[in-house]
Amino acid sequence: MLGVALVATLVAWACEHGTPFLKQVEPVAYDRALSTYLGERKESSRVVVVAIDQLTLDGISENEQLRINFGNWPYTRTLWARIAQELKAAGAKAVLFDAVMDERASDESADLGFAQVLRETDLPFYVGMVTSGTATPLPRADFQAPVPVALPDTASPTPEDTFAEDAAEEFKDGPATATPTLTRAALARALAFPVSRTDGKALPALEYVSSQGTPQPRHPVPPTHALVGAVNGFGLVDTEADEDGVMRRTRFAYTDGINTYVTLPVRLMADLLGAKEVTLSGGTLRLGERTWQVNPDDGSAALDYGGPLHKRYPMVSLIKVLNDWIHRSHGEAVKLPADTFRGKVVVIGGTTPGINDIKATPFSSTEPGVAKQAAVVDTLLSGEFITRAHWSVDLGITFLAALLSAVLLMTARWTPLEVVWPLGLVFGLHLVTGLALKTSHTHVLTAMPSLAGIGASVAALAFNHLTANRETEFIRQAFSRFMEPKLVAQMIRSRQLPRLDGENKEITAFFSDIRGFSTFSEHFKEDPRQLVRILNTYLTTVSGALLREGGCLDKYIGDAVVCLFGAPMDQEDHAIRACRGALAAKAAVEALRVDFRQKGFPDVYTRIGVNSAVNFVGNFGSDQLFSYTAIGDGMNLAARLEGANKAYGSVIMIGPRTYALAKEHIEVRELDRVRVAGKTEAVTVYELLALKGQLAPELQRTVAHYHEALALFRQARFADAAAVLEAEAARGLEDGPTGKLMERCREYLETPPENFDGVANLEK
């Protein structure tokens, strides 16, 4: 089983790292787990999405005045100035604009007017930037220098735009003058952001693969200069999609080999947290005093989207924000609730296919790209990213899945299980992945363990079918001599085949022995064949009683019989069966003793020890001879109990575990508390008297008096105990334990014991 599991694990590991199959399957499994277990999050209270939706496109294009002032998509910067004014008035905490402004407007005054509004409102506003393989590299940024501010040299009178809806409205644009220009060093300082990685690993590179198949660097495309210094910061908004085109993760920071750049949400959060630098150390991302767990290898992390965009975040159409600005400008009441934006981060982005910003996420193949920015911002504000489990965890789960499959199918060998297990395994691993995502935001692989488990299952089934007939015949031949044939057939039919290589299991062991067998055998030293016939008769009698109760004959040691209950066939009632077998053997031997006395044979008085415990059972022996047996402390105690009957005058002595398992079905007498040789802990031993309800009244009285005397004995009141036992003995009922305890009381009266604790030492 270990071999099958190990081979299946190695094959799955090789497929994970050497073939594209699992790399295609794993993302699908991850997406399913993510949507199932992390897809019902409540609506965020920290982030609001202002959607450039179809309602906005239609509303502006159908309104002549709006179309004149703002044009068609992409709208003039004047529109964003009005939106910034309204969001500031509505109490927004900061604005993340999921788009780029890297081209000058045809009317340069629009750029300058937008920049002027941002300075006047002092609203934290962050704009995206993209990278390109054709962009000119910027020089190394000097982070000691202040962020440059691009200001026009002169100003001109403010032009007025008119807007007719119910009344005219003035649009106050910025100064109509030439857009200022900045040096490339100034641009580098404005766009780059300090990032350090203290674990010695490199930051992800901004690069692309050329037509020749070689990696080439990409560099930022600078925004229009008028916005530098007016916008609070710029961040990367390049698509970070996996090989299948799905946006599942982000990497926070990149380098083009010259400068370091951060993604747009990180740039926004750096200011909100007062961080002057982004630090990646091992598996930790740090901004100011806040940290988040990330993947230690490349500093990436998967996104906890929490559900589709429209369910996860409050969605406000851009046209509604613009209309509120118009109402507020007229002195009219705004339509949106007062707390819509107050104290929240606003993410502006396109949500309609007309904007051409539709991407794939684990929740939808047509999700707006702004969903990623909103998810990152929301997690940075208050949440956890999803990180990959350590490779050792994945490998361990893979091996456990393979081992469980091999063990289960190679031991159970049940056809319905063989059919259902592969499906159950995949579902179980899906559940494990989902629970890991839900409880610890950790991504545990599903595909690799599934492949290993299914591979091990196939190997186990092949092994089962190749060896089933041979093993069944071996079991039949091996156990038919030691168990009832019908039990062997039942064991094979129910596929409860024993593990011949050994296993730990709780069983009940039976030991019996003839009192004074050496003296017994001396009577036949002139006729050994008669001894063999008598001994065979005795062993057959005892064995038959045990086999009828479902026992498995372990061995004969001269006149001693060793029998196991609960192995090789599982028996939940093994202790009860052993007790019934012991009483049946005692009754059969009593009848045999009567027959032997009539024939003039020696007595075969038999003592029995029964004990239940976890023992190691299986095939033991040498290459020349081996047999199915059990070893362990439980077997040793059963043998000791059989011999201890002599000291207590009892016939059947049982251990504490046997009593605990069978006490509802048997009548016993508590004999004593004993300490086994080599052990420090004392255990209570009992004499098995009868099955429940079958104890004779006279014997019940004797047992009651014995228990009374035993309690006095343990209190070292030996004279009182002896008096109780003598009164019972005077009744004339012969009882071995009563006589033995009375002898001990008299002995201790004559020679008081030292450090008496009421426990007898049970020597070998």
Look at the chain and report how many structural domains it folds into: 4
pLDDT category, 166, cuts 50, 70, 90? very low
Q: Are 97 and 126 in contact (CB under 8 A)?
A: yes
Q: Are 109 and 176 in contact (CB under 8 A)?
A: yes
43 and 13: one domain?
A: no
- Domain span at 729: 696-764
Does position 489 have pLDDT exceeding 70, yes or no?
no
Is residue 102 assigned to a domain? yes
pLDDT at 173: 43
Q: Measured in whole angstroms, how far is the alpha carbon of residue 592 from the centre of its chain?
A: 61
Is residue 206 assigned to a domain? yes
Residue 603: give its domain's CATH number. 3.30.70.1230
Is residue 525 assigned to a domain? yes
Is residue 66 assigned to a domain? yes
Does position 194 have pLDDT exceeding 80, yes or no?
yes
309 and 248: one domain?
A: yes
Write down which residue in 453, 479, 505 finishes a domain.
479
pLDDT tens digits, 641-699: 999 999 999 999 999 999 999 999 999 999 999 987 667 788 999 999 999 999 999 99
375 and 455: one domain?
A: no
Write down which residue in 669, 693, 717 finishes a domain.
693
684 and 558: one domain?
A: yes
471 and 549: one domain?
A: no
Nearest by Cα to 600 from 677, 674, 542, 527: 527
Does position 162 have pLDDT exceeding 80, yes or no?
no
Spatial CB neighbours of 621, under 8 Å, sequence gap ≥ 6: 627
Write down which residue in 386, 418, 445 finishes a domain.
386
Is residue 484 assigned to a domain? no
Residue type, 189: R
648 and 729: one domain?
A: no
Q: Are 626 and 498 in contact (CB under 8 A)?
A: no
678 and 708: one domain?
A: no
Distances (CA, A) of 255 to 4, 132, 219, 355, 655: 46, 13, 9, 29, 74
Distances (CA, A) of 371 to 42, 314, 362, 374, 533: 15, 12, 11, 5, 91
Distances (CA, A) of 519 to 512, 514, 604: 17, 10, 11
Report the SS3 class of residue 14.
Answer: helix
317 and 169: one domain?
A: yes
Conformational region of residue 572, where left means phi above 0, alpha means psi within -120 to 50, and beta covers everything else? alpha
Is residue 640 assigned to a domain? yes
684 and 547: one domain?
A: yes
pLDDT tens digits, 522-555: 778 878 888 888 999 999 999 999 999 989 888 8
Is residue 392 assigned to a domain? no
115 and 47: one domain?
A: yes
650 and 742: one domain?
A: no
Does position 613 have pLDDT exceeding 90, yes or no?
yes
700 and 686: one domain?
A: no
What is d(CA 189, CA 3) in angstroms, rounded to the nearest whole number? Answer: 60
What is d(CA 386, CA 754) in angstroms, rounded to the nearest whole number? Answer: 69
DSSP state, 696? -
